């Protein structure tokens, strides 16, 4: 119902429909409407385009959100357009500017160009603004025609936050005119203050250490908000690049929106960082927020999705109160740019706002060329035809990149020095995807497009702390990929068709064999059915049997670490690092920084030999070209299946 109302709004936008909006009631004399519009976590998504897949999409793009923004502006007397950070990084256009074109002094960053075109009133810094270093950031934001504020990123610490020298101004007080219900203009001072998770000091340590420090969000707010009041701010809006987390303040908390909103003097809050939507059913039972009222910590608030998926809208009805203004009432909503239908197809709800597209058309075209050309080289073919039967380069490169990244992230933490392992699974490995559904990048150039192929999902990196015993059971869970094979049997079917390949985690950094004669320890759902089985044998770390009590850091993704696939040691409680970076971004960075990658499989796992036993499995027919060079396994062709797959025989 809500969506339909919004949609009619966009398409008709007529005066008659305005009357349907709860905030269309005319403001009286000395009352005024103020509409606060929010974008957040744009991540350089200006065009409605998925550069990894190299195709247009209807679910992202500031050019689409811009139509909603223009629509609201057309029906409003007073509005502000605010951005909540994470605009500079997160898609190949961002990587193109950072890695290929560069940012010289005076260059315009395309996302800033697009934001200038749309006439933003202010923005704040998100954690991803720091990914390419401070110099890149400062050159990028220099082009902004609007203030960019952040109160808790500090160049020089003072005795108290207000004595700090911050990287960018902590807040801005916009002196504007506001039109009341009579059409009379009055002066108003609108204070905007920005915040970022202090975890940037860990996530971008190599760029930030020695250059800036981060303060607790609430500590900074409590110090600056009274100062803004003293300077005459009539209302204060927090631009919090922070999610909706716990209701109670804890020092250094990442998702601080609720206690921040509750800080005295803050009138409304824009949130983000979590890439979720508020108000929405996501937060129905959440302590400290009220979805129906659109409040966070008792104050009106929104979270406008991510990549331009939504525009957050806080409507305030203000009343003149002596010399200043107070909030009489408020509503909040998040307006989507598209709708997912029951059959999962996407219906766009708005069209592009052409001036935004036009403003960065050149950079869009350059990004298309960038994703289609090489960013690095591989000295081994990146294919997944044999990923389920042997150690494999398409899985190996993911683990190599994850280990490279996590090793860096552990420096200076209490976990530095613990051995680092990595878990990765083949995503494109035939199955229901069909006989062409494999990764296949030949030796030579690797393009950005190929990385999407290697890592299908927009997961983010996680590390868990697990024991040797948990590593063993993690691998037992993976080994459910295979049917139990009777010793001496001929051409038994190897793969369990009900076991998805994305749950077949290979762990790098240890060596092991899989004994197919044993039953699986876990059933399909991850419940233990054979507690005493040992499919995983000769599990070794550093050439010696693994110590069940030894602690390891295991690199993986958010899906697995928080319980996806029900892996032992992965229920969310063992997470010791929550990366802000997608696994895909990490792979791109790894390839760009290495120049040439060597993802040749190291053969760290194999099937245990079984005298006189053969098994059959299916893969893509194009895999035949690689069959002779797969490490640790003897493979021969065994004909075609009637579904278009090629069959191969393994002699165990």
User: CB of 128: closest distance to Mn ion in angstroms?
Assistant: 6
* Strand bridging mode 299-304 / 277-278: antiparallel
58 contributes a contact to Mg ion by CB under 5 A: no
User: CB of 399: closest distance to Mg ion in angstroms?
Assistant: 6
State which of positions 418-477 bind Mg ion (CB under 5 A): none
Q: What is the CA radius of gyration of the chain?
A: 27
The entry of Mg ion, Mn ion, none that residue 391 binds, CB within 5 to 8 Å by partner kind: Mg ion
Distance, in Å, from the CA atom of 415 to the CA atom of 406, rounded to the nearest integer, reads 11
Choice between 83 and 508, CB closer to Mg ion: 508
The 3-class SS string of 70-115 reads: HHHHHCCCCEEEEECCCCCCCCHHHHHHHHHHCCCCCCCCHHHHHH
**Which one of residues 58, 75, 107, 602 is an interface residue with Mg ion (CB under 5 A)?**
602
**Which one of residues 180, 508, 515, 618 is an interface residue with Mg ion (CB under 5 A)?**
508
State which of positions 604-633 bind Mg ion (CB under 5 A): 604
State which of positions 389-428 bind Mg ion (CB under 5 A): 391, 396
Which residues are within 8 A (CB) of 514 and not within 5 positions of it... i.e. 6 or more apart? 475, 479, 482, 535, 536, 537, 605, 606, 607, 608
User: CB of 398: closest distance to Mg ion in angstroms?
Assistant: 10
Choice between 283 and 325, CB closer to Mn ion: 283
The entry of Mn ion, Mg ion, none that residue 604 binds, CB within 5 to 8 Å by partner kind: Mg ion
**Which two structure tokens, joined as six digits, stand for 249?**
């303040």
**Is the sign of the CA dihedral 358, 361, 363, 364 positive or negative?**
positive
Contact between residue 399 and residue 393 where contact means Cβ atoms under 8 Å apart: no
Choice between 80 and 397, CB closer to Mg ion: 397
Choice between 244 and 403, CB closer to Mg ion: 403
C-alpha distances (whole Å) from 321 to each of 36, 263, 265 are: 20, 21, 15
Contact between residue 617 and residue 504 where contact means Cβ atoms under 8 Å apart: no
User: CB of 611: closest distance to Mn ion in angstroms?
Assistant: 55
User: CB of 392: closest distance to Mg ion in angstroms?
Assistant: 8
The entry of Mn ion, Mg ion, none that residue 602 binds, CB within 5 to 8 Å by partner kind: Mg ion
The entry of Mn ion, Mg ion, none that residue 41 binds, CB within 5 to 8 Å by partner kind: Mn ion
Distance, in Å, from the CA atom of 440 to the CA atom of 452, rounded to the nearest integer, reads 12
Distance, in Å, from the CA atom of 115 to the CA atom of 123, rounded to the nearest integer, reads 10
The entry of Mn ion, Mg ion, none that residue 86 binds, CB within 5 to 8 Å by partner kind: Mn ion
50 contributes a contact to Mg ion by CB under 5 A: no
A 10 A CB-CB count for 237 gives 29
Choice between 422 and 582, CB closer to Mg ion: 422
505 contributes a contact to Mg ion by CB under 5 A: no
DSSP 155-187: EE--SSGGGSEESS-SEEEEEEEEE-TTS-EEE
Contact residues for Mn ion, defined by CB under 5 A: 41, 86
The entry of Mn ion, Mg ion, none that residue 508 binds, CB within 5 to 8 Å by partner kind: Mg ion
Interacting stretch for Mg ion, rule CB under 5 A, among 190-198, 201-209, 241-249, 383-391?
383-391
Distance, in Å, from the CA atom of 273 to the CA atom of 296, rounded to the nearest integer, reads 15
Choice between 41 and 50, CB closer to Mn ion: 41
Choice between 41 and 618, CB closer to Mn ion: 41
Choice between 21 and 538, CB closer to Mg ion: 538
Strands, E, within 21-86: which ranges?
A: 31-39, 49-50, 55-56, 79-83
Task: List contacts with Mg ion (CB under 5 A).
Answer: 391, 396, 508, 602, 604
């Amino acid at each position: 119902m809500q969506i339909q109302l919004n949609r009619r709004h966009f398409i008709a936008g007529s005066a008659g429909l305005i009357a349907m909006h709860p905030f269309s009631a005319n403001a009286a004399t000395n009352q005024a409407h103020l509409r606060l519009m929010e974008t957040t976590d744009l991540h350089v998504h200006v065009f409605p385009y998925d550069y990894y897949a190299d195709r247009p999409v209807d679910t992202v793009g500031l050019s689409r959100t811009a139509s909603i923004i223009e629509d609201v502006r057309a029906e409003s007397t007073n509005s502000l357009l605010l951005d909540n950070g994470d605009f500079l990084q997160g898609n190949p256009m961002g990587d193109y500017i950072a890695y290929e074109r560069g940012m010289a002094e005076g260059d315009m960053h395309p996302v800033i160009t697009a934001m200038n075109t749309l006439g933003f009133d202010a923005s704040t810094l998100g954690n991803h603004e720091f990914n390419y270093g401070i110099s890149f950031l400062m050159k990028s934001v220099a082009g902004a025609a609007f203030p960019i504020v952040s109160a808790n990123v500090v160049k020089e610490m003072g005795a108290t936050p207000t004595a700090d020298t911050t990287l960018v101004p902590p807040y801005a007080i916009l002196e504007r005119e506001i039109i009341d219900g009579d059409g009379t203009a009055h002066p108003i001072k609108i204070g905007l203050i920005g915040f970022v998770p202090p975890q940037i000091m860990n996530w971008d340590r190599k760029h930030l250490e020695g250059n800036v420090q981060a303060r607790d969000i609430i500590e900074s707010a409590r110090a600056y908000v009274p100062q803004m009041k003293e300077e005459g701010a009539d209302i204060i809006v927090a631009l919090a690049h922070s999610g909706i987390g716990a209701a109670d303040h804890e020092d250094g908390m990442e998702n601080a929106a609720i206690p921040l909103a509750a800080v005295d003097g803050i009138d409304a809050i824009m949130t983000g960082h979590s890439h979720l939507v508020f108000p929405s059913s996501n937060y129905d039972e959440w302590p400290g927020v009220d979805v129906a009222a659109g409040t966070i910590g008792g104050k009106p608030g929104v979270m406008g999705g991510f990549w331009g998926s939504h525009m957050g809208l806080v409507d305030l009805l203000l009343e003149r109160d002596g010399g200043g203004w107070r909030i009489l009432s408020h509503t909040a909503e998040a307006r989507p740019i598209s709708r997912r239908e029951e059959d999962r197809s996407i219906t766009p709800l708005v069209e592009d706002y052409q001036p935004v597209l036009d403003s960065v058309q050149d950079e869009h075209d350059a990004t298309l060329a960038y994703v289609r050309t090489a960013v690095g080289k591989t000295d081994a073919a990146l294919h997944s035809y044999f990923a389920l039967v042997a150690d494999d380069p398409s899985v190996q490169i993911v683990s190599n990149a994850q280990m490279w990244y996590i090793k860096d992230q552990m420096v200076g933490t209490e976990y530095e020095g613990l051995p680092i392992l990595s878990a990765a699974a083949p995503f494109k490995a035939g199955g229901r995807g069909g006989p062409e559904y494999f990764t296949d990048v030949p030796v030579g150039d690797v393009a950005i497009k190929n990385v999407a192929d290697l890592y299908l999902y927009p997961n983010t990196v996680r590390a868990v702390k697990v024991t040797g015993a948990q590593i063993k059971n993690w691998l037992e869970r993976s080994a459910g990929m295979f049917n139990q094979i009777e010793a001496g049997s001929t051409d038994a079917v190897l793969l369990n068709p009900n076991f998805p390949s994305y749950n077949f985690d290979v762990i790098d950094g240890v060596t092991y064999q899989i004994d197919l004669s044993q039953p699986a320890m876990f059933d399909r759902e991850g419940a233990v059915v054979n507690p005493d089985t040992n499919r995983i044998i000769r599990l070794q770390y550093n050439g010696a049997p693994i110590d069940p009590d030894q602690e390891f850091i295991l690199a993986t993704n958010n899906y697995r670490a928080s319980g996806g696939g029900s892996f032992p040691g992965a229920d969310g409680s063992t997470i010791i690092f929550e990366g802000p970076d997608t696994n895909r971004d990490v792979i791109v960075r790894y390839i760009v920084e290495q120049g040439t990658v060597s993802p040749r499989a190291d053969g760290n796992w194999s099937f245990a030999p079984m005298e006189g036993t053969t098994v059959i499995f299916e893969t893509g027919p194009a895999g035949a070209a690689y069959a002779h060079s797969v490490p640790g396994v003897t493979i021969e062709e065994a004909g075609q299946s009637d579904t278009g797959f090629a069959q191969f025989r393994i002699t165990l």
